[in-house]
Amino acid sequence: MKKTILITGGAGFIGSAVVRQAIAAEYRVVNLDALTYAANLDNVASVSESPFYVFERADIRDQSALDRIFATYQPDMLINLASESHVDRSIEGPAEFMETNIIGTFAMLQAARAFWEDKGRFDEFRFLHVSTDEVYGALGPTGQFSETSPYNPHSPYSASKASADHLVRAWANTYDLPVLISNCSNNYGPFQYPEKLVPRTINCALAGKPIQVYGTGDNVRDWLFVEDHAAALLMILEGGKVGDSYNVGGNAEMPNIEIVRKICLLLNERLDDRAPHEKLIEFVPDRPGHDFRYAIDASKIRLELGWQPTVSLETGLALTVDWYLKNSANTKFPQVSQQLGLLQ
């Protein structure tokens, strides 16, 4: 009998990668997504005809819809990926982040708890909540975030995710709900919505528009290929210790400006008639509260579960650039057919 996974946000960037991998791993998948601006069902088109895939359009804040979906599909476990995740949007309009990331997580916890208790609190149940390294705040030139690093969020986005993490732990401590938490570094790869740095850089370069970079571009991130992240989440779901958290990183620290330059070089190789793409780089005033550096210590997931990233930054960026070039005229993917003028 196949296990059923309920995946929230399964039409989004990371969620769709998890859906595709879960179907390939022979799980039964229920994809719950509200289909807000960054979601696209074409992201899961490759598995949508599978007899083991079901889509439910619903908002994680809708308690009655959640109760119905739990009762209908009887999930063995769930991965909560539905969230608002763009820092710039959280600065301009924080309310939606509070609603989705905090109230939505609360509603998911309530629905999961009610279902789990009604089913006799069965041992196999797991609630994996997917969070971010941004809850830890910022690092200086050295050091890494571990699972025991104190929380110190600096943006409305990271504050909302930190709040959600605290709710998940509270439901574990108060109601014994079997939860896990993961905190990941910056994801990139095919299917990403163009407001984030990597796809926006590619899209602007293809359109001949300025590639805008905050400040001096020296802010450092740990870059994680999305398919590696999806594999980590499924491993945590099945093998992680209930009640624990796991940091997931790509072991690939690099300043934003170097990421942009690497993308430009890849495009120069592929579109030499438009080179050099570096001429499009334009530095703009920094955003408020811009964290200087994030870095992940992923030794716990490596030692306990045997996971480590398999795609190097160089390979992952090349795969990503090639995907966007291949799909640049494909109107099914707003990731490559729209220019939003938004910054990372």
Rounded Cα distance between 321 and 264, Å, is 10
pLDDT of 58: 98
Both tokens assigned to 133? 């390294």
133 labelled catalytic = yes
From the candidates 157, 188, 214, 294, give the one annotated as an active-site residue: 157
Q: Residue-wise pLDDT tens for the chain (344 aa)?
A: 689 999 999 999 999 999 999 999 999 999 999 999 999 999 999 999 999 999 999 999 999 999 999 999 999 999 999 999 999 999 999 999 999 999 999 999 999 999 999 999 999 999 999 999 999 999 999 999 999 999 999 999 999 999 999 999 999 999 999 999 999 999 999 999 999 999 999 999 999 999 999 999 999 999 999 999 999 999 999 999 999 999 999 999 999 999 999 999 999 999 999 899 999 999 999 999 899 999 999 999 999 999 999 999 999 999 999 999 998 766 566 655 554 333 33
pLDDT of 328: 76
From the candidates 33, 134, 165, 227, give the one annotated as an active-site residue: 134
Which residues in 190-222 are b (16+ Cβ under 10 Å) and which e?
bbbbbbbbbbbbbbbbbeeeebbbbeebebbbb
From the candidates 76, 133, 291, 297, give the one annotated as an active-site residue: 133
Cα–Cα–Cα angle for 17, 14, 144, rounded to 5 degrees? 120
The letter for the amino acid at 41 is: L
pLDDT of 344: 36
Rounded Cα distance between 39 and 29, Å, is 17
157 labelled catalytic = yes
Where in the chain are the domains? 4-192+223-250+294-310
For the chain, the first-to-last Cα distance in angstroms comes to: 43
Considering the four listed CATH numbers 3.40.228.10, 3.40.50.2000, 3.40.50.720, 1.10.357.10, the one that applies to the domain covering 4-192+223-250+294-310 is 3.40.50.720
Rounded Cα distance between 124 and 80, Å, is 17
Three-state SS across 8-60?
ECCCCHHHHHHHHHHHHCCCEEEEEECCCCCCCHHHHCCCCCCCCEEEEECCC
pLDDT in tens, 41-85: 999 999 999 999 999 999 999 999 999 999 999 999 999 999 999
Q: Which long-range contacts (CB under 8 A, 24 or more apart) does 284-290 make?
A: 284/212, 284/213, 284/214, 284/343, 285/214, 285/215, 286/214, 286/215, 287/87, 287/88, 287/91, 287/214, 287/343, 288/91, 289/91, 289/154, 289/155, 290/214, 290/215, 290/219
Across the strands, what pairs with 79?
Answer: 7, 128
Q: Using an 8 Å Cβ cutoff, are 188 and 225 in contact?
A: yes
